[in-house]
Chains A and B, each alone.
Chain A
Amino acid sequence: MKKREDIKKTYKLYIGGKFPRTESGRYIKWTDPKKATTVNICRGSRKDFRNAVVAAREAFCGWSSRTAYNRSQILYRIGEMLEGRRSQFMDELILQGSSKKAAEKEINLSIDRLIYYAGWADKYQQIFSRVNPVALPYFNFSYPEPTGVVSAIAPNESSLIGLVSIVAPIIAGGNTVVVLASEENPLCSITFAEVLHTSDVSGGVVNILTGHRSELIEQFSSHMDVNAIVYCGNESEEIKLVQENAALNVKRPIVYSNENWHNKNTQDPYRILNTLEIKTTWHPVSI
């Protein structure tokens, strides 16, 4: 009997809750370390990024006005969905060169990290808010609000835990995000989009692109409708470019260098605070 031909997945982008191919029609051939499997990955263009920012901007109002409790539930739901797709991520992580044990560990850690930020999603606001003493008849208080649309360049080395560690604190804070997946190992990132797609995360809240970092970093950092950029990497030239371009519209640049995303110390509520803005309100009170 003839051997059955496997139906392979087409790896596409994730923009505005849809899975489009890149508008440029360009692809990158990705081959696994054993040279056994070749996959076509979308080589995202600046126009894909532009479309993703439009989607993220549209989604911002809805996502940021959800209750913190509801955002927390949805983050928890992402963790649940990831748990259910364990075997798919196992296969891809192993294909990308992980050992079975390492792959299992990475998936466990990713789920735990989502649950960790789900827990923080309705707590950071009271922790980071404060009442300020003022010498006037005002009740003066400061509290964090979401920054807006955040662009993010995910870590290259750890494709699943890296992506989760970047995306979770950004959306826990009520922001929407356009993230460039690991260039070396993009498989898990697009599969993670399928997890998001089935987790009540509205379209446009998280947008995932694949492509060349060197080609897209300029637009990721300069776009005027992006309010903060998270950069993960150690290239000093890239860091300089991100910081300079961020100055164009005073977007907040956040740089994570030399991080080991498998380490527990890369998760903390201050990473949520990084993409928040503090608002201070003066409320008149009678003396």
Chain B
Amino acid sequence: METFIHRIDQVGAQERVSRLFSRSIKKESKIEALHTVLSMIDLTTLEGKDSPGKVKQLCYKAAHLHDQLPNLPTVAAICVYPTMVAIAKKALEGTDINVASVATAFPSGMTPLEYKLNEVKMVVAEGADEVDMVISRGKFLGGEYNYVADEIASVKEACGKAHLKVILETGELVTLDNVRLASDIAMKSGADFIKTSTGKVSPAATPPVVLIMLEAIRDYFKKTGKKIGMKPAGGISKAKLSIQYLVMIKETLGQDWLNADLFRFGASSLANDVLMQILKQSTGVYQSANYFSMD
């Protein structure tokens, strides 16, 4: 495996981010952006205490974000643990909403490959449309890039028709150079999406990390013509930040990536904040979380 290491200018990345994030999106453009954000959300529940009831409730919310507001899109997908896939699939029958399942011993990835592949096959058989795998960070940091690449390729094969999102867990990769390298390896090995984090490690998706991953996607597209998707996850709970990310995609990858086929937000509380902002825009009154579904 070719492991060309891009040296990332960390200060430059920070500066670029702060320039992109200073854009002000207002009025009609803001409402449009907020709707786009909603349609890109992977509504997520990944807790040890998840119950069928909670998953069903979340599925209902995915399809009915806030029925008082007309013309709202639905979210792109529901993201759950493997044992909840069948329940989510059934609850979402008749909608366009995908079911994404984390797999490969999420969030640590610390089981043998054989078990990971079985897990992936199981969630696909249960009906998962998308699989979110984690890479073996220990191996990656130990320099075993071929192992990481082979593992991703095997999981991709096990996925069959299901889309594969590869979680780099950038909070454990230490440097931006590593983020870039892991992105390159994941894309070459068959990832349909690259994803920042599990949400279980802090820091999760930070803006410079997302920028570097977007640039990796751009370079890969220029080289091969293949469009890889991007999913920042973890810690994105405010509408303002999500709009800033839209600006970042538009400026780095262009209009083609501004849809749910190629960009997702992994989030649980973002949807409510976006809904509160949309309602604020249409009524002029600041909103309270009391009047939105709890999740």
Task: State the A residues within 8 Å of B (CB).
Answer: 46, 50, 53, 219, 222-225, 248-249
17 A–B contact pairs at CB < 8 A?
A46-B286, A53-B286, A219-B286, A222-B285, A223-B285, A223-B286, A224-B288, A224-B290, A224-B291, A225-B286, A225-B287, A225-B288, A225-B289, A225-B290, A248-B285, A249-B288, A249-B291
Report A181 CB to chain B, min CB distance, Å: 20
Q: How far is the CA of A50 from the CA of B280 in the complex (A)?
A: 12
In the complex, what residues of B have CB within 8 A of residue A225's CB?
A: 286-290
In the complex, what residues of B have CB within 8 A of residue A249's CB?
A: 288, 291
In the complex, what residues of A have CB within 8 A of residue B289's CB?
A: 225
Q: Which residue of B lies closest to A225 (CB)?
A: B288
Task: State the B residues within 8 Å of A (CB).
Answer: 284-291
In the complex, what residues of A have CB within 8 A of residue B287's CB?
A: 224-225
Residues of A contacting B: mostly: helix
**Residue in B285, B286, B287, B290 with the greatest tally of chain A CB atoms within 10 Å:** B286
Q: Which residue of B lies closest to A53 (CB)?
A: B286
Total A-B pairs in contact (CB under 8 Å)? 24
Report B255 CB to chain A, min CB distance, Å: 30
Q: How far is the CA of A116 from the CA of B80 in the complex (A)?
A: 55
Q: How far is the CA of A46 from the CA of B284 in the complex (A)?
A: 11
Q: How far is the CA of A224 from the CA of B284 in the complex (A)?
A: 11
Q: Which residue of B lies closest to A223 (CB)?
A: B286
Q: How far is the CA of A42 from the CA of B289 in the complex (A)?
A: 29
In the complex, what residues of B have CB within 8 A of residue A219's CB?
A: 286
In the complex, what residues of B have CB within 8 A of residue A224's CB?
A: 285-288, 290-291
Q: How far is the CA of A46 from the CA of B286 in the complex (A)?
A: 10
Residues of B contacting A: mostly: loop
A53-B286, A222-B284, A225-B288 are known contacts; what are 12 more A-B pairs with Cβ within 8 Å? A46-B286, A219-B286, A223-B285, A223-B288, A224-B285, A224-B290, A224-B291, A225-B286, A225-B287, A225-B289, A248-B285, A249-B291
In the complex, what residues of A have CB within 8 A of residue B291's CB?
A: 224, 249
In the complex, what residues of B have CB within 8 A of residue A53's CB?
A: 286
In the complex, what residues of A have CB within 8 A of residue B286's CB?
A: 46, 50, 53, 219, 222-225
Q: How far is the CA of A249 from the CA of B286 in the complex (A)?
A: 11
Q: How far is the CA of A248 from the CA of B289 in the complex (A)?
A: 15
Q: Which residue of A lies closest to B279 (CB)?
A: A224
In the complex, what residues of A have CB within 8 A of residue B285's CB?
A: 222-224, 248
Q: How far is the CA of A249 from the CA of B291 in the complex (A)?
A: 10
Q: Which residue of A lies closest to B287 (CB)?
A: A224
Q: How far is the CA of A122 from the CA of B267 in the complex (A)?
A: 43
Which 5 residue pairs spanning A and B have beta carbons closest together?
A225-B288, A224-B288, A223-B286, A222-B285, A224-B287
In the complex, what residues of B have CB within 8 A of residue A50's CB?
A: 286
Report B273 CB to chain A, min CB distance, Å: 11
Q: How far is the CA of A120 from the CA of B39 in the complex (A)?
A: 52
Q: How far is the CA of A223 from the CA of B280 in the complex (A)?
A: 10
Q: Which residue of B lies closest to A224 (CB)?
A: B288
In the complex, what residues of B have CB within 8 A of residue A46's CB?
A: 286
Q: How far is the CA of A150 from the CA of B165 in the complex (A)?
A: 46
Q: Which residue of B lies closest to A149 (CB)?
A: B288
Report B25 CB to chain A, min CB distance, Å: 15
Q: How far is the CA of A219 from the CA of B285 in the complex (A)?
A: 7
Q: How far is the CA of A225 from the CA of B286 in the complex (A)?
A: 7
Q: How far is the CA of A224 from the CA of B276 in the complex (A)?
A: 10
Q: Which residue of A lies closest to B276 (CB)?
A: A224
Q: How far is the CA of A46 from the CA of B288 in the complex (A)?
A: 15
Q: How far is the CA of A219 from the CA of B286 in the complex (A)?
A: 8
**Residue in A222, A225, A248 with the greatest tally of chain B CB atoms within 10 Å:** A225
In the complex, what residues of A have CB within 8 A of residue B290's CB?
A: 224-225
Report B272 CB to chain A, min CB distance, Å: 13
Report B144 CB to chain A, min CB distance, Å: 45
Q: Which residue of A lies closest to B289 (CB)?
A: A225
In the complex, what residues of B have CB within 8 A of residue A248's CB?
A: 285
Report A228 CB to chain B, min CB distance, Å: 13
Report A21 CB to chain B, min CB distance, Å: 18
Report A57 CB to chain B, min CB distance, Å: 8
In the complex, what residues of B have CB within 8 A of residue A222's CB?
A: 284-286
Q: How far is the CA of A224 from the CA of B285 in the complex (A)?
A: 7
Q: How far is the CA of A248 from the CA of B291 in the complex (A)?
A: 12
In the complex, what residues of A have CB within 8 A of residue B284's CB?
A: 222
Q: How far is the CA of A248 from the CA of B288 in the complex (A)?
A: 12
